[in-house]
Structure 1
Amino acid sequence: MKVLMLGWEFPPYISGGLGTACYGLTKALSEQGTEIAFVLPRPVQSAYSGHVRLLTPSDSLLASIYEEEPLRRVRFCAVDVALYPYGNPAEKALPVGEIGRQAGPGTSCSTRGEGAINVPDAVAGSIPCNVNVDVNYGCDLYAQTHRYSRLACQISRLDDFDVIHAHDWMTYPAGVAVASKSGRPLVVHVHSTEFDRSGEHINKWIYDIERLGMHRADQVIAVSNFTKRICVQRYGVPDSKVSVVYNGVEPSEYGGDFKEIKRHKNEQIVLFLGRITMQKGPEYFIAAAKKVLEKMDNVKFIMAGSGDMFTRTIEMAAGMGIGHKILFAGFLRGADVDRAFEMADLYVMPSVSEPFGLSPLEAMMHNVPVIISNQSGVAEILQHALKVDFWDIDEMANKIIAVLRHPALHQTLRENGVQEAGRLRWSESARRCRQIYQHMLRTAG
Structure 2
Amino acid sequence: MKVLMFGWEFPPHILGGLGTASYGITAGLAKQPDMQITFCIPKPWGDEDKSFMNIIGLSETPIVWRDVDYDYVKQRLGNKMSPEQYYALRDHIYADFSYRQTNDLGCIEFSGRYPDNLHDEINNYSIVAGVIARQQEYDIIHAHDWLTYPAGIHAKHVSGKPLVIHVHATDFDRSRGNVNPTVYSIEKDGMDHADCIMCVSELTRQTVINHYHQNPAKCIAMHNAVYPLSEEIQQIVAQRKPARERKEKVVTFLGRITMQKGPEYFVEAASLVLQRTRNIRFCMAGSGDMLNAMIELAAQRGIADRFHFPGFMKGKQVYEAFRDSDVYVMPSVSEPFGISPLEAMQCGVPSIISHQSGCAEILDKCIKTDYWDINAMADAMYSICANEGLYTYLQEEGKKEVDQITWEKVGQRIYNIYSQILVNYNH
TM-score by length of 2: 0.84
The 1:259–1:249 alpha-carbon spacing in structure 2 relative to 1, beyond 3 Å, is closer
Alpha-carbon distance in 2 for matches of 1:134, 1:241: 35
Match of 2:5, SS state, is strand
1:207 to 184, 189, 194: 184
SS in 2 for 1:339: helix
Structure 1 partner of 2:83: none
1:79 maps onto 2:80 in alignment: no
3-state secondary structure, aligned to 2:395: helix
Task: State the match for 1:339 in structure 2.
Answer: 320
Whole-angstrom distance in 2 between the partners of 1:319 and 1:76: 49
How far 1:188 moved relative to its partner?
A: 0.4
Work out whether residues 110 and 121 of structure 2, in 8 Å CA contact, stay in contact via their aligned partners in 1.
no
8 Å contact 1:7–1:168 — kept in the other structure? yes
More helix per residue: 2
**Do the aligned partners of residues 259 and 431 (structure 1) sit closer, same or farther apart at CA in structure 2, a change above 3 Å counting?**
closer
Match of 1:232 in 2: 209
Corresponding residue number in structure 2 for 1:37? 38
Q: Distance in 1 between matches of 2:29 and 2:324?
A: 33
Which amino acid in structure 1 is aligned with residue 39 of structure 2? Answer: F
Q: How does 1:313-324 map to 2 (within 5 A)?
A: 313-324=294-305
Alignment of 1:285-304 (within 5 A): 285-304=266-285
2:144 is aligned with 1:167: yes
Letter of the structure 1 residue corresponding to residue 211 of structure 2: R
- CA contact 1:276–1:309 (8 Å) conserved in 2: yes
Q: Which amino acid aligns with 2:362?
A: I
Contact 1:258 1:343 in 2 (8 A): no
Deviations 1:337-393 (A, max 9, x none): 110001000000000000111001001100010000000011111111100000010
CA distance in structure 2 between the aligned counterparts of 1:334 and 1:252, rounded to whole angstroms: 12
Matched, 1:115 2:93: no
Quote the offset at 1:430 in angstroms. 0.6
Q: Match of 1:164, SS?
A: strand
- Residues 261-272 of structure 1 correspond to what in structure 2 (within 5 A)? 266-272=247-253
In structure 1, how many angstroms separate the alpha carbons of the residues matched to 2:240 and 2:206? 45
**Code of the aligned partner of 1:77:** I
**% same residue:** 44
Q: Which amino acid aligns with 2:177?
A: E
**Which residue identity is paired with 1:281?**
G
Note the alpha carbon deviations across 1:386-430, whole angstroms, 9 max, x for none. 000000101110111111111001111111100000000001111
Partner of 2:227: 250
Residues 70-219 of structure 1 aligned to structure 2 (within 5 Å): 71-72=51-52, 74-80=53-59, 115-116=99-100, 135=109, 140-219=117-196
- Please say if residues 371 and 385 of structure 1, whose CA atoms lie closer than 8 Å, have aligned partners that are also in contact: yes
Q: Which moved more, 1:263-272 or 1:273-282?
A: 263-272
Q: 1:396 to 1:431 in 2, by over 3 A?
A: same
Aligned to 2:6: 6
Task: Report if the CA contact (8 A) 1:258-1:339 is conserved.
Answer: no
SS at match of 2:8: coil
Distance 1:250 1:303, change over 3 A: same
Partner of residue 380, structure 1: 361
How far apart, in 2, do the equivalents of 1:392 and 1:358 lie?
A: 22
**Corresponding residue of 2:82:** none
Contact 1:270 1:299 in 2 (8 A): yes
Residue of structure 2 in register with 1:282 after alignment: 263
Q: Tell whether 2:308 aligns with 1:327.
A: yes
Amino acid at match of 1:115: Y
Q: Structure 2 CA distance, aligned partners of 1:169 and 1:268?
A: 40
| AA partner of residue 196 (structure 1) | D
Give the Cα–Cα distance (whole angstroms) in 1 for the partners of residues 177 and 351 of structure 2. Answer: 28
CA distance in 2, matches of 1:443, 1:163: 12
In 2, Cα distance between equivalents of 1:279 and 1:442: 39
Within 5 A, what are the aligned runs for 1:379-398?
Answer: 379-398=360-379
Structure 1, unaligned runs of 5 or more? 53-67, 82-112, 118-132
Task: Note the alpha carbon deviations across 1:271-311, whole angstroms, 9 max, x for none.
Answer: 10111111100011001010011111000011111111111
Separation in 2, partners of 1:172, 1:329:
35
Mean Cα deviation higher: 213-222 or 34-43: 34-43
1:17 aligns to what?
A: 17
Q: Distance in 1 between matches of 2:24 and 2:185?
A: 29
Find the residue that maps to 1:340 and give its secondary structure: helix
Unpaired runs of 5+ in structure 2?
61-96, 102-106
Are the aligned partners of 1:220 and 1:242 in contact in 2 as well (CA < 8 Å)? Answer: yes
1:436 aligns with 2:417: yes
Which SS does the other structure have where 2:135 is aligned? coil
Q: 2:331 is aligned with what amino acid?
A: P
- Alpha-carbon deviation of 1:136? 7.0
Provide the C-alpha distance between the structure 2 equivalents of 1:115 and 1:164, rounded to a whole number of angstroms.
Answer: 29
Q: Deviations over 1:112-160 (max 9, x none)?
A: x96359xxxxxxxxxxxxxxx9847587111100110011110111110
In 2, the alpha carbon distance for the partners of 1:114 and 1:168 equals: 29
| Distance in 2, Cα, partners of 1:193 & 1:418 | 29
* Cα deviation, residue 251, structure 1: 2.2
Which residue pairs with 2:405 in the alignment? Answer: 424
1:308 aligns to what?
A: 289
CA distance in structure 2 between the partners assigned to 1:152 and 1:135 by the alignment = 14
Secondary structure, aligned partner of 1:80:
helix
Instruction: Output the CA distance in 2 between the equivalents of 1:278 and 1:232.
Output: 24
> Contact 2:168 / 2:336 at 8 angstroms: preserved in 1?
yes
